Amino acid sequence: MREIAPRRFRAQIGLYYDDFEVGDVYEHRPGRTITDADNTQFSLLTMNYHPLHCDAHFASQTEFGKMLVNSGLTIAIVLGMTVPEVSGQAIANLGFQDIKLLAPVFSGDTIYAESEVLAKRPSKSRPGQGIVTVRTKGLRQDGVVFMTFERSALIRSRADAEANPTNY
C-alpha cells in the first residue's frame, strides 16, 4: 500500500526490483480448486479438443481413468498466481524456460504455486530497471509438484516507479 493522500492508500501489486533477493521463496496464495467447467471451457476456448480434456467416457478408458485438466490451463493459473509478488511491477516478461509437466492434475484438485528467486541483475540498457529470474513450482493439495518452469522479467525499481508513477 502506498499513501496517495493523508489517510488514503492505494493497493499495490508486485514487488520492485530492489525487493528481490536470490534465494527468497514466495508462497503464492490463495490456491485455486479446478472444476470440470474450468477445464472444459478452457479446452474449448483454446480449441484443444483432445478427448482427455472433454470426453469423460474416452478418458475413463485411459490409464488415468478420468479426464485430465488441460496443461495450458494449469500453466495459466500457476503463472497468474505469481503476479502479485513476482511480476506486478514488471514492464515485460522476457522469456520462459524449461517448462516441465511432472504429474497429472484432475478436476477437484486444488493447486498452489511457489517461486524461488534464482538471479537478478540491473538492466544494461534500461537504467532503473532490472531482470529477475525465478523458478516456479505448481503443487497439488497433496504436495506433489506437477509443474516447474523458469521465467525472466524486466522489473522496475522503486526509484523508477517514483520517477514515473502509474495510475493503477
CB-CB contact of 35 with 104 (8 Å): no
Tell me which of 3.10.129.10, 1.10.260.40, 3.30.230.10, 3.40.50.10860 is the CATH number of domain 2-163. 3.10.129.10
Asked if residue 38 has pLDDT above 90, the reply is yes
CB-CB contact of 27 with 134 (8 Å): no
pLDDT of residue 167: 58
Give every CB contact of residue 16 below 8 A, 6+ residues apart in sequence.
89, 155, 156, 157, 158, 161
In angstroms, the CA 11 to CA 69 distance is: 33
Of 6-10, 30-34, 146-150, minimum mean pLDDT range: 6-10
Model confidence at 59, pLDDT cuts 50, 70, 90, reads very high
pLDDT of residue 168: 54
How far from the centroid of its chain's Cα atoms is residue 45's Cα?
Answer: 20
Q: Which of 89, 143, 90 is nearest to 114 (CA)?
A: 143
Residue 36 sits at the vertex; the CA angle it makes with 35 and 38, to the nearest 5 degrees, is: 65
pLDDT in tens, 73-127: 999 999 999 999 999 999 999 999 999 999 999 999 999 999 999 999 999 999 9
Model confidence at 11, pLDDT cuts 50, 70, 90, reads confident
